[in-house]
Amino acid sequence: MIAKIKNHSIDLSRPLDLSIALHGAPTNVNAWYVDAPKIEPHIANGSKIKVSEGASVNFNNIQFNPHAHGTHTECVGHITKEFHSINQNLKRFFFLAEVVTIAPEKNGDDFIISKKQLQYALGNKKRDAVVIRTLPNTKEKFSRQYANTNPPYLCEEAMRLLVKKNVEHLLIDLPSVDKEKDDGALLSHKAFWNVAGEIRKQATITEFIYVDNSIADGTYFLNLQVAPFENDASPSRPVLYEIIKP
């Protein structure tokens, strides 16, 4: 199926899924010092509601944290006293996106994505969304246990560059845009949502994506799908579509 959006054509039959699936096992990707997610049959009257156990249906309970256990999209409510819901703030779902690949650079004891790196990768392009694939890009990202590993992150100046370019949706394959242990400073989150000024309520950050190596850097249409949770963050499924050249 071919669709046309703003004079561009995309092939809807060839989705490029960027999400990491959640499964109830210790090998599920994890961060922020919490236990693994659980997907287990509900127990009623001492019996599991599971077909293989004699029930008529499978009826699972799911326990997880969207920030720690897989691909999720968050809004400014993640860092504000006031409640903001991703389900209320994200009202559009298709965006023009740029995929860029960046090898985080050494900065003291950390590895960061710098303003200079982002500027070089994006040039003068104007995009609704930016998708960052970090190097090395291995399948380990599907199961890595990130707690206490000081993963790479984006520096505050890099986030301010994205704001200056009017990028409203940032997607990255790391557990956070900020340093793992920063004493609650959250400089990059705060810069992206402009919490010191007019808050960018429509802006979102999506973390824990995976951009397969078969996906080339370049421009795509992004469908940013979120589960309708009234929460600051929700499990999400970002999907890219290639733009068909005339």
Q: What is each CA distance from 37 to 27, 31, 59, 88, 146, in whole angstroms?
A: 10, 11, 16, 26, 15
pTM: predicted TM-score of the whole model, two decimal places: 0.95
Is 82 part of any domain? yes
* CA-wise closest residue to 110 among 172, 207, 182, 179: 179
| Res 23 pLDDT > 90 | yes
Q: Which of 6-20, 51-65, 193-207 has the lowest mean pLDDT?
A: 6-20
Is 235 part of any domain? yes
Segments in the chain forming alpha helices (H): 86-89, 115-122, 156-164, 187-193
| Res 206 pLDDT > 80 | yes
The number of distinct structural domains making up the chain is 1
Q: Looking at residue 244, what is its pLDDT?
A: 85
Is 213 part of any domain? yes
| Res 6 pLDDT > 70 | no
- pLDDT tens sequence across 108-140: 999 999 999 999 999 999 999 999 999 999 999
- pLDDT tens sequence across 150-170: 999 999 999 999 999 999 999
Is 231 part of any domain? yes
CATH number of the domain to which 157 belongs: 3.50.30.50
Mean pLDDT of 87-110: 97
Is 186 part of any domain? yes
Arithmetic mean of pLDDT over the chain: 96
Q: Looking at residue 246, what is its pLDDT?
A: 67
Q: Looking at residue 9, what is its pLDDT?
A: 86
| Res 2 pLDDT > 60 | no
Is 58 part of any domain? no
Neighbours of 160 (CB within 10 A): 16
Q: Which of 5-14, 143-152, 192-201 has the lowest mean pLDDT?
A: 5-14
Neighbours of 71 (CB within 10 A): 23
Is 90 part of any domain? yes
Is 26 part of any domain? no
| Res 14 pLDDT > 60 | yes
Q: Which domain holds residue 121?
A: 2-21+66-244
